[in-house]
């Protein structure tokens, strides 16, 4: 059983790491490293399901330049099979506490389930990354507020509709999500927005959503997180396999960095750290 002093210590450590993560935003590009504990993720499914492998990969991501590690136990790729809450937690529980204790970086939880977010935050997770932007689970906004974690609100759609204006749809979605966050008491200073590349969009809409980065940043005054790592859109554009999509990922991330994006969710931390260093050197000159 967790004692009151242990809970207080966990919250203090979480708040420190959360604030350290948030303080980087705007100072330089922030790298969010991806750690999948899933058997079916499109890029690295079943590679890091054991504790030792997960710890080793998280540590490598941080050594390579990741500022935060985003941990997920349910694939949300197109056509994925939904995972029950108990199964998602079974994958997460043995790994989260050791990661928080041993990895020298904040940990983010990639889940749209409020109960998963609540349990993860109680262990010390600093960020809740919700691919349904507080809208799928009615309890998520309250959990986010009560936990004290920072929140990533991502745009999503159940179905692709090539006829819609995707930027307008993203704005309507963000407006609803931010209203939920406001009612629950989530401070605006703890919120990031993600246009949800690859989620409920066709190829043209994905490109338009990336191009809208600067306008979204200006409209909401909130940091924009971009998650395009190894996405199928680069396979379509370049004719590349999953392993060959790195150059497309870096090109898209550098483009959106120039447009005003702040945080980049990636599998390949070292390559992005190098690319951002060159970008910064040119920009500073």
Q: Write out the H or E segment, with its range, that includes residue 222.
A: none
Report CA torsion sign: 58, 117, 250, 245.
positive
Q: Does residue 245 carry a catalytic annotation?
A: no
b/e burial code for range 25-52 (CB count within 10 A of at least 16 → b): beeebbbbbbbbbbeebbbeeebbbeee
CA distance 127 to 70: 8
* Catalytic member of 60, 231, 232, 245: 231
Q: 35 forms bridges with which residues in the sheet?
A: 71
DSSP 3-state of 16: helix
- 13 catalytic? Reply is no
Q: Which residues lie below 8 Å from residue 75, measured CB to CB, with a gap of 6+?
A: 36, 38, 40, 41, 42, 45, 81, 83
CA distance 238 to 22: 34
Q: 153-164: buried (b, 16+ CB within 10 Å) or exposed (e) per residue?
A: bbbbbeeeeeee
Cβ contact 191:150 at 8 Å = yes
The DSSP annotation for 131-185 comes to TTTT-SSTTHHHHHHHH--EEEEE---SS--TTS-HHHHHHHHHHHHHHHHHHHT
The catalytic residue positions are 231, 265
């Amino acid at each position: 059983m967790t004692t009151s002093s242990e809970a207080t210590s966990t919250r203090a450590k979480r708040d420190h790491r959360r604030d350290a993560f948030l303080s980087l935003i705007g100072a330089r590009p922030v790298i969010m490293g991806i750690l999948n504990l899933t058997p079916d993720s499109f890029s690295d499914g079943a590679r890091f399901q054991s504790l030792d492998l997960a710890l080793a990969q998280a540590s490598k991501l941080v050594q390579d330049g990741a500022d935060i590690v985003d941990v997920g136990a349910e694939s949300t790729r197109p056509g994925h099979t939904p995972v029950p809450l108990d199964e998602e937690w079974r994958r997460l529980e043995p790994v989260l506490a050791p990661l928080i204790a041993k990895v020298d970086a904040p940990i983010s939880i990639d889940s749209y389930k409020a109960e998963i977010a609540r349990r993860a935050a109680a262990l010390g997770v600093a960020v809740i990354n919700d691919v349904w932007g507080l809208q799928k689970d009615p309890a998520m906004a309250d959990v986010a507020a009560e936990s004290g974690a920072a929140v990533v609100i991502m745009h999503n759609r159940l179905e692709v509709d090539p006829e819609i204006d995707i930027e307008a749809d993203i704005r309507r979605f963000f407006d609803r999500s931010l209203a939920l966050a406001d009612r629950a008491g989530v401070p605006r200073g703890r919120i990031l927005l993600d246009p949800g590349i690859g989620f409920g969009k066709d190829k043209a809409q994905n490109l338009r959503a990336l191009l809208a980065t600067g306008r979204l940043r200006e409209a909401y005054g909130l940091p924009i997180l971009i998650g395009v790592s190894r996405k199928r859109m680069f396979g379509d554009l370049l004719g590349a396999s999953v392993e060959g999509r790195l150059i497309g990922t870096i090109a898209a991330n550098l483009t959106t960095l120039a447009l005003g994006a702040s945080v980049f969710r990636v599998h390949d931390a070292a390559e992005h750290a190098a690319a951002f260093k060159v970008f910064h050197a040119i920009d500073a000159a």
